[in-house]
Structure 1
Amino acid sequence: MEKIALLTDSACDIDDETIKKYSIEILPFRIIYKDREYIDKVEITPKEVYDSMKYEIPKSSLPSIDDMESVFDRLERENYTHVVAVTISSGLSGTYNALKMVSKKHNKLSSYVYDSKSTSLGEGIVLKECGRLLDQGRSFSEIVNCIPGIKKSMHFFFVFGTLEYARKGGRIGRLSGTIGEILDIKPIVYFDDDQGICFTRHKVRGRKRSLSKMIDIGNDFLAKCPCDVYVVHGNAREEAENIYNRISGLPNVENIYMIGQISPIVGVYSGPGTVGVCYVERNGENQVY
């Protein structure tokens, strides 16, 4: 009989209830300051990271090989037979390649490591849907075969509070970031499915207009079918709640979730003020992707 574990890294954003319900294993990144280091989401909170960024922008490092080995060893001891792992985009981190390497050393476990080509909700929602499939009694191979369809059903967009942190972290071109700040351009950003890096979907002048544009984009998906909607933010709760309330009243919103703070590891590059929205197409409670 199959015993399937779900595994991810701390760049993943999803609610604590989902993590507990499906016993999702989380490999932590490290948040590194000049004179100290923290385990992401364990020794430091997202709010603490965002609040300290006015004084120092920390660096980050991927989960250690020792941590990965330790999790796989424990899963073997607990008689798991299969692992479904969803990682931060390989375009942003070496986590995917490292986890692939470690998984191959553990022959007692049949493992599938999926490069989300995204981060934050882009990882979390895939894990949540895999958990739902587990609850339905789906096999390892069935879950793996469904993941591309899950990914295709998701549409994740976000707006930075400022382009400063993405520019400093090398996530956008220095010139485009500088010009964007001068002109008050607030791009609507998404992750490319091929490269797993950020691209601009729309360029909008002004903060309020950019946040409203994310709702307008969602209307295109809601016009086609019912959607679940997820909202995250980086120290921008008031604006995120406003987006949440505005979307809640739209037709075809099946469920809406306020996930809360974007993980610190993502926040290092996105910065405070970031707001993200993900629309997930739904076709019934037991939909098959």
Structure 2
Amino acid sequence: MEKIALITDTAADLHEDIIKKYNIHVLPFRIIYKDREYKDGVEITPKEVYDNLDKEVPTSSLPSMQDMEDTFTKLEEEGYTNAIAVTLSTGLSGIYNAVKLVSENHPSLKTYVCDSQSISAGEGVIVEVCAELIEKGKSFDEIVNEIPNIKSRIDLFFVVGTLEYLKKGGRIGKVSGTIAELLNIKPIISVDKKDGKYYTYDKVRGRKQSINRILEIVEEKLKKNKCRVWVMDGNAPEETKKVFEGIKKMDNVVNVNFGGTISPVSGVHSGPGLIGVVLIEEQ
């Protein structure tokens, strides 16, 4: 009899109730200041990161190898036979390779490591759908075979207050930077499904227009398919709430979830002012 575990990382921005409901094992990234280090989302909150950005912009690092080893050992002790690990995009982090390496030290667990090629709820929704499939009694192989289809149905779009933090953290990808900022051009950023890096999906002038454009993009997607939607906040609560309320009124929305604040590790790289939307097409 298979017993399937789910592993992910704090960049997936899963709600605590989802983590508890499906017993998901979450690996915390590390937030590193000059004189101290914290486990992402465990020892430091997004608010604490944002409140200190004017004093120091921390760096981030992978979950510790010890945390990864401990997670796999715990799963073995709890009698799991299989594990599905969904990680932050390889285009943004080295966590996929690290988890794969650690999983090979635990051959008694048949493990599949999935590069989400996404971030935040774009990563988290893969975990959630896998959890729903486990609950329905699907086998490990059936779920692993379904993952490419799940990924193909996900879209992610976000805007940021400034590109400064993405540039500082080396996460700018194929998003044009300095000249666009001087002209007050606001890119609508998405993640390339081939390499998992950020790219400019569209661009408009000014913050207000960028928020309106996000809503238009969501509406365009919903005209083609029914979708579940998540709205994420990166220290822009009032504007995020307006986007959430706007999407709630749209046709073809199966449900819209306020995903809450993005994880500290994502906040470090995006800076304040992020509004993100994730959609998954219903089948």
- Secondary structure of 2:18's match? helix
Equivalent residue for 1:81? 81
Aligned-pair CA distance for 1:164? 1.0
The residue type paired with residue 161 of structure 2 is G
- Secondary structure of 2:70's match? helix
Aligned pairs for 1:1-289 (under 5 A) are 1-172=1-172, 176-283=176-283
Distance of 1:96 and 1:269 partners within structure 2: 19
Ranges of 4+ aligned residues in structure 1 off by more than 4 Å: none
Post-superposition Cα deviations, 1:132-158, rounded to whole Å, max 9, x if no partner, equal 111111110111111111111111000
The 1:93/1:253 distance shift into structure 2, 3 A limit, reads same
Post-superposition Cα deviations, 1:113-146, rounded to whole Å, max 9, x if no partner, equal 0011111112100000011111111110111111
Identity of aligned residues (%): 54
Distance of 1:173 and 1:143 partners within structure 2: 31
Distance of 1:57 and 1:155 partners within structure 2: 29
Consecutive unaligned residues of structure 2, counting only runs of 5 or more, are none
Post-superposition Cα deviations, 1:56-114, rounded to whole Å, max 9, x if no partner, equal 10001101111111110110000000000000111211110011011111111000000
Post-superposition Cα deviations, 1:160-203, rounded to whole Å, max 9, x if no partner, equal 11111112122227994221221111100011111111000001
Equivalent residue for 1:287? none
How many matched pairs?
A: 283
Q: Normalising by the residue count of structure 1, what TM-score does the alignment of the two structures yield?
A: 0.95
- Secondary structure of 2:201's match? strand
Post-superposition Cα deviations, 1:250-288, rounded to whole Å, max 9, x if no partner, equal 1111100001111111111111101100111113xxxxx
1:237–1:260 Cα contact (<8 Å) kept: no
Aligned-pair CA distance for 1:2? 0.6
The residue type paired with residue 177 of structure 1 is G
Distance of 1:206 and 1:150 partners within structure 2: 34
2:27–2:63 Cα contact (<8 Å) kept: yes
- Secondary structure of 1:251's match? coil
The 1:61/1:254 distance shift into structure 2, 3 A limit, reads same
- Secondary structure of 2:171's match? coil
Distance of 2:258 and 2:281 partners within structure 1: 17
2:175–2:189 Cα contact (<8 Å) kept: no
Give the CA RMSD over aligned residues. 1.4
Distance of 2:175 and 2:259 partners within structure 1: 33
Distance of 1:43 and 1:172 partners within structure 2: 27
